[in-house]
């Protein structure tokens, strides 16, 4: 195609009035480059190819979500205005005219039908630090893929609405919530479709099925009131902070215990490897280590006969019996690593 017709028609009026101009310049730039590549490849490219070539997942997700490009169930990409031009160009060839029209029209119809089957309107609650708000949008794929880029906000799904006329449904909901328009502190693709968290309670009285919606998925988050939703989000954040604090305290305690082990064992090889293994030990195993190490060290005064500490931990040698030359367990008290270790040594529990 590119050899027969090395250019495609670009109508400035259609571009200026099209939905593509509502997107960021980065999205527009990816699209025009994609069009050139699509034309040069005679429309034979897949979603996998464009993601690999352009390495701009967030922009590509927006193009798919806004139906600017269409991806069928096999991952084949379709750009409608270019497909039409290809059919027109192919029709000039008497021998290929019929097959070309049937082929391209079939592909476009298949892609559009697939798009309708998977299209959905989503309403999500976004949260970051002290900011909580709603976003209403539509996508032809998974919501997780729509927000696979670098989004600073975490999100929780409130509603998912599946059907054929999702564009009209999305516009209607946004108009219904127009008084609650909200501008996020941190911009992202789709930040113009956001609303105050108070709008969540307003949606409980909205008739979603007035549109051609085949399925309404209402998640637990959507059933709470405005104050409850904020409280729920805050509680989740507090729980996360508490879990993080406990985890740090545990890591600090384990680090201290490892230092004791490291000095007590007194054969300093593969420290990093040992530490990683030490982190995986159960508290009962750590206690057993501190009961076992002093006697094991006394039984191997020559370090070259003492196991490497990583081997000692990996093989769980702290469960082995210690036997000295006379066949008796070692009961003496000595200083090891600058520490006085009694025979009845018992480390502090933690």
pTM, 2 dp: 0.38
- Within this chain, do residues 244 and 190 fall inside the same structural domain, yes or no? no
Of 222, 221, 215, residue with least CA distance to 161: 215
- Within this chain, do residues 111 and 127 fall inside the same structural domain, yes or no? no
- Within this chain, do residues 73 and 161 fall inside the same structural domain, yes or no? no
- Domain-terminating residue out of 188, 223, 258: 223
Give me the residue label for tokens 């002093």.
294
If 0-12 CB within 10 Å is exposed, 13-18 middle and 19+ buried, where does residue 220 land?
Answer: exposed
CA distances from 268 to 47, 167, 242, 262, 309 (A): 53, 66, 35, 7, 8
Which 8-state DSSP code applies to residue 205? Answer: G
| Digitized pLDDT (tens) for each residue of the chain, 350 residues in all | 445 678 888 888 778 877 788 888 999 999 999 999 999 888 889 998 899 999 888 889 889 888 889 888 788 899 988 888 887 777 665 555 555 556 655 555 544 444 444 578 899 999 998 899 999 998 877 777 777 666 788 888 888 888 777 888 888 999 999 999 999 998 887 888 999 998 888 888 788 777 767 677 777 555 444 444 455 556 666 777 888 888 888 888 889 999 999 999 999 998 999 998 998 898 899 999 999 999 999 999 999 889 999 999 999 999 999 876 654 444 443 444 444 444 444 544 44
- Within this chain, do residues 30 and 109 fall inside the same structural domain, yes or no? yes
Query: What is the torsion angle, in degrees rounded to the nearest 10, for the CA atoms of residue 87, residue 88, residue 90 and residue 93?
Result: 150
Quick check: is 3 in a domain?
A: no
- Domain-terminating residue out of 197, 223, 249: 223
What total number of domains does the chain contain?
3
- Within this chain, do residues 71 and 143 fall inside the same structural domain, yes or no? no
Rounded Cα distance between 183 and 176, Å, is 17
- Within this chain, do residues 213 and 152 fall inside the same structural domain, yes or no? yes
What would the DSSP string read from start to end of 212-279? Answer: SEEEEEE-GGGGS-HHHHHHHHHHHHHHHHHHHHHHHHHHHHHHHHHHHHHHHH-----HHHHHHHHH
The alpha carbon of residue 205 and the mean position of all alpha carbons in its chain are separated, in whole angstroms, by: 32
Rounded Cα distance between 310 and 95, Å, is 75
Which 8-state DSSP code applies to residue 155? Answer: E
- Within this chain, do residues 20 and 104 fall inside the same structural domain, yes or no? yes
- Within this chain, do residues 298 and 209 fall inside the same structural domain, yes or no? no
Q: How many CA atoms lie within 13 A of 331 on its CB side?
A: 4
- Domain-terminating residue out of 174, 189, 223: 223
Residue 171 lies in domain: 120-223
């Amino acid at each position: 195609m590119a050899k027969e017709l090395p250019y495609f028609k670009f109508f400035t009026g259609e571009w200026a009035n099209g939905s593509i101009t509502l997107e960021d310049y980065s999205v527009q730039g990816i699209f025009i480059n994609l069009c050139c590549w699509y034309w040069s490849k005679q429309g034979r490219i897949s979603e996998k190819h464009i993601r690999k070539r352009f390495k701009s997942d967030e922009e590509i997700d927006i193009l798919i979500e806004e139906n600017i490009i269409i991806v069928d169930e096999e991952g084949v990409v379709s750009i409608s205005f270019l497909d039409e031009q290809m059919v027109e160009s192919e029709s000039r060839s008497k021998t290929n005219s019929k097959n070309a029209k049937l082929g391209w029209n079939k592909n476009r119809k298949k892609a559009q039908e697939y798009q309708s089957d998977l299209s959905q309107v989503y309403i999500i609650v976004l949260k970051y630090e002290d900011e909580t708000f709603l976003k209403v949008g539509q996508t032809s794929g998974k919501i997780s893929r729509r927000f696979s880029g670098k989004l600073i906000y975490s999100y929780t799904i409130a509603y998912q609405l599946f059907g054929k006329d999702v564009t009209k449904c999305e516009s209607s909901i946004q108009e219904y919530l127009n008084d609650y328009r909200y501008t996020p502190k941190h911009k992202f693709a789709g930040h113009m479709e956001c609303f105050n968290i108070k709008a969540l309670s307003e949606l409980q009285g909205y008739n979603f099925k007035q549109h051609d919606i085949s399925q309404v998925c209402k998640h637990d988050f959507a059933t709470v009131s405005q104050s409850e939703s904020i409280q729920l989000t805050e509680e989740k954040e507090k729980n996360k902070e508490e879990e993080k604090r406990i985890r740090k305290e545990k890591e600090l305690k384990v680090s201290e215990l490892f230092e004791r082990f490291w000095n007590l064992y007194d054969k300093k090889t593969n420290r990093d490897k040992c530490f990683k293994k030490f982190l995986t030990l159960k508290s009962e195993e750590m206690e057993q280590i501190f009961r076992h190490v002093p006697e094991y060290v006394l039984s191997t005064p020559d370090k070259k006969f003492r196991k490497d500490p990583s081997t000692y931990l990996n093989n769980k040698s702290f469960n082995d019996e210690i036997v000295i030359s006379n066949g008796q367990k070692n009961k003496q008290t000595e200083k090891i690593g600058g520490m006085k270790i009694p025979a009845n040594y018992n480390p502090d529990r933690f």
